[in-house]
Amino acid sequence: MNRRVFLKGIGGVSLAAPFLPSVAEKAAKAQGMTTTPPKRLVIYFTHNGCLTNRWWPKVTTYTNGAATLTADMLKGQTLEPLSPYIAKLTIPRGFRSMNAYGSGQSIDPHDQAVGSKLTCATIDSANKRYATAASLDHVIAKQINPNQASPLVLSVGAASTQIKEVVSFSGPGTAFPATVNPLTVYNQLTGVFGTGGTTGGTGQASYLVKRKQSVLDLCKQDLTRYQALKMSKQDKTLVQTWMDLLRTTETGIVPTASPTSCSKTTAEAAPFTATSANVMAASPTGKITLGSVLGNTPDPVGDANLATSFTKGGDMFLNLIALSMICDSNRMIMMLYPGYVTFNWDGIMHTHEHHGLSHRTGDFTVGGACGVTGVLDMIWQIDKWYAGKYAKLVGLLDSINESNGTLLDNTATMWLPELSDGAAHNLNNLPIVVAGKAGGYLKTGQVVNVEGTGTPQMGNSDMSCANGGNIGNTGSSGGMLPINKLYVTLMNAVGCTATGMPGGGKVTQFGQFDGTGSSGGITNPGEVTKLTSAG
């Protein structure tokens, strides 16, 4: 398959970017259908669970396992900042993600929760505990991304290849660590910015185009030498991937359309204000505290950079996510946050790191005495901070108009957690919210019990440690529907097919297994019709 990638032109030339199509869109175009804006999936990922009973909407009555979401239901709850968007939200109750510690593998609850989260596969304790399959973002990116570009995986905080912070896997055992520097993403985008609809043609533009082609030819011929060697299959694939990247840009092709909104002017204006200076100010220049399950000793430089990363950096990432979508350089985007940092920004002044607080003990020990006075309030501060940023992302996407609605309307923007409750480490009854209807595939404005018609439990996060004492059961029961089905629903929502080709039919399954163990294949295939507008 021919690939075209939005590369930064030498000297900043813009290769004005038409909506370069996935295979399905090429086919649609060929059939003369109008090109509507593409559909995108955004995953916002946080660690250590939450106070579940404060997180979910307070639904009094489910009718046939669903309820229309109202602002009242969010009042006083963690998701209250999402009130302006209730008509565009779906809150699915009842999913369980894979590989719970003890019933699945018995390596480490967090490593398993993270490694299996988007892969629904086992982790390999002989290979850094990495997952044994590619993750959802890579599977989706291959199908829907222009040029099959890799998913855009971003993280606040320090770069890490440790399993606790790696959710994305480009293949079995191959981690795809997040990019933590807004400047790296911004640099790529500046090569995509259009000139407002004009095509190349001036002498200046043409030297840059020629230059780019000459260098690409040089690089291609370099790789051709490697291709002549008797290499292993894996090496051949690596070389071919690189060659595909190089083959993308072709001189002489006049871009047919340039989304005028994909421009430096747009980037620098409100709401993004992504000027070069602002992006640099949001980007790390030195060491960022990584955060440790052993607790964090103060480090003035690292901690200051961490605070910048969480505040300015994260906010700039939200802007860059929106711009990436506007420029259609990526349709599969993930925004990750680290799990073991001590919150010291935006009015939160903690002395224990998040993971330790989520245990209620203040450190990695499990169970026993509630180790930190006021621990529930501290967890709630963090929960609300994350909800605020998620709401900011949702609001930002909803403020951008596309031809048929807002950018948000053409996405499924999901907040997906590592765990339900951090002390219980339970994976059932996961607190999940999806914003956006993915172009109409999803039915929004509702809280849905995907498991049945009963009333889902709000959980016991608040039951312990309100006034010291010992940590009891902070989890909940029920909510056991395999998350694989949510992923299938989302894959269909953004236009994936079972074969990866147009007309390939709906996706029906995802992952290695969907049982409570860590094997056994897929026993409950299919999407969740209740979440779709057809259901």
Q: Of all residues in the chain, what percent are helix, strand and coil, respectively (each to 5)? A: 35, 15, 50
CB of 484 vs another protein, minimal distance in Å: 22
Query: Of 11 and 454, which CB lies nearer to another protein in the complex structure?
Result: 11
Query: Could you tell me if 116 and 131 are in contact, meaning their C-beta atoms sit under 8 angstroms apart?
Result: yes
Torsion angle, alpha carbons of 109, 42, 88, 422, to 10: 20
Going residue by residue from 217 to 256, which x/- string records binding to another protein, judged by CB under 8 A?
xxx-xxx-xx--xxxxxxx-xxx-xx--x-----------
Nearer to another protein, 215 or 257 (CB): 215
SS3 49: strand
In 172-299, where do the E strands start and end? 174-175
- Among residue numbers 121 through 180, which ones bind another protein (CB under 8 A)? 124-129, 132, 147, 149-150, 152, 158-159, 161-164, 170-171, 173-180
Size of the chain, expressed as the number of residues it contains: 535
Q: What amino acid occupies position 55?
A: W
Considering the complex, state which of residue 283 and residue 411 has its C-beta at the smaller distance from another protein: 283
- The C-alpha angle 97, 440, 44, rounded to 5 degrees, equals 40
Q: Which listed residue (29, 75, 210, 506) binds another protein by CB under 8 A?
A: 210
Q: Nearer Cβ to another protein, position 94 or 475?
A: 475
- Smallest gap, in angstroms, from Cβ of residue 95 to another protein? 24
Residues in CB range of 511: below 8 A, 6 or more apart: 98, 119, 120, 121, 133, 484, 487, 522
Q: Which is nearer to another protein, 71 or 231 (CB)?
A: 231
List residues bridging with 333 in a β-sheet.
Answer: 42, 152
Subset of 353-392 contacting another protein (CB under 8 A): 364-368
C-alpha closest to that of 479 among 97, 98, 94: 94
Q: Which helix (H) or strand (E) holds 330?
A: none
Q: How far is the CB of 291 from another protein (least distance, A)?
A: 8
| Residue number, 177 or 405, with CB nearest to another protein | 177
Site pattern 340..359 for another protein (x: CB under 8 A)? x-------------------
- Specify whether the CB–CB gap between 436 and 442 falls below 8 A: yes
Question: Contact, 46 vs 415, CB < 8 A?
Answer: yes
* DSSP state for residue 511 in the 8-state scheme: S
**168 torsion bin: left (phi>0), alpha (psi -120 to 50), beta (else):** beta
1 belongs to the binding site for another protein (CB under 8 A): no
- Shortest distance, position 136 Cβ to another protein, whole Å: 16
Least distance from C-beta 92 to another protein, angstroms?
A: 29
Assign 165 to helix, strand or coil. helix
Instruction: Tell which residue, 392, 431, 396, has the closest CA to residue 415.
Output: 431
Kindly state the tokens that stand for 434.
């999806």
Q: State the minimum distance, in angstroms, from the CB of residue 282 to another protein.
A: 11
Q: Which is nearer to another protein, 223 or 304 (CB)?
A: 223
The site map against another protein for 476-515 (x = CB under 8 A) is ----------------------------------------
Q: Where are the beta strands (DSSP E) in 260-362?
A: 332-336, 344-345, 348-349
Instruction: Select 332 or 486, whichever has its Cβ closest to another protein.
Output: 332
Q: How far is the CB of 431 from another protein (least distance, A)?
A: 22
Task: Tell me, letter by letter, the H, E, C secondary structure of 117-133.
Answer: HCCCCCEECCCCCEECC
Fill in the per-residue mask, 405 to 444: x = in contact with another protein (CB under 8 A), - = not in contact: ----------------------------------------
Return the number of the residue (286 or 347) whose C-beta is nearest another protein. 286
* Residues in 258-297 that interact with another protein by CB under 8 A: 280, 283-286, 290-297
Per CB under 8 A, the list member of 119, 181, 411, 461 interacting with another protein is 181
CB of 453 to another protein, least distance (A): 35
Site for another protein in 71-110 (CB under 8 A): 101-102, 106-110
C-beta of 3 vs 88, nearer to another protein: 3
User: If DSSP codes are grouped into helix, strand and coil, which group holds residue 344?
Assistant: strand
Are 427 and 104 in contact by the 8 Å Cβ rule? The answer is no
Residues 294-313 that bind another protein (CB under 8 A): 294-299
Least distance in angstroms from the C-beta of 218 to another protein: 5
Please state the closest distance from residue 266 (CB atom) to another protein, in A.
19
Minimum separation from the CB atom of position 502 to another protein (A):
23
C-beta of residue 7 within 8 angstroms of C-beta of residue 249: yes
- CB-based contact 41:410 (threshold 8 Å): no
| Pairing relationship of beta strands 66-68 and 446-449 according to DSSP bridges | antiparallel
Q: Which is nearer to another protein, 230 or 254 (CB)?
A: 230
Shortest approach of another protein to residue 34 CB, angstroms? 27
Q: Taking contact as CB under 8 A, which single stretch among the options 35-43, 187-195, 378-386, 430-438 is the one that binds another protein?
A: 187-195
CB-facing half-sphere around the CA of 246: CA atoms within 13 A: 18
How would DSSP label each residue in 247-281? HS--TTPPPS---TTSSHHHHHSTTT---HHHHHH
- Nearest distance, CB of residue 143 and another protein, angstroms: 16
Choice between 33 and 231, CB closer to another protein: 231
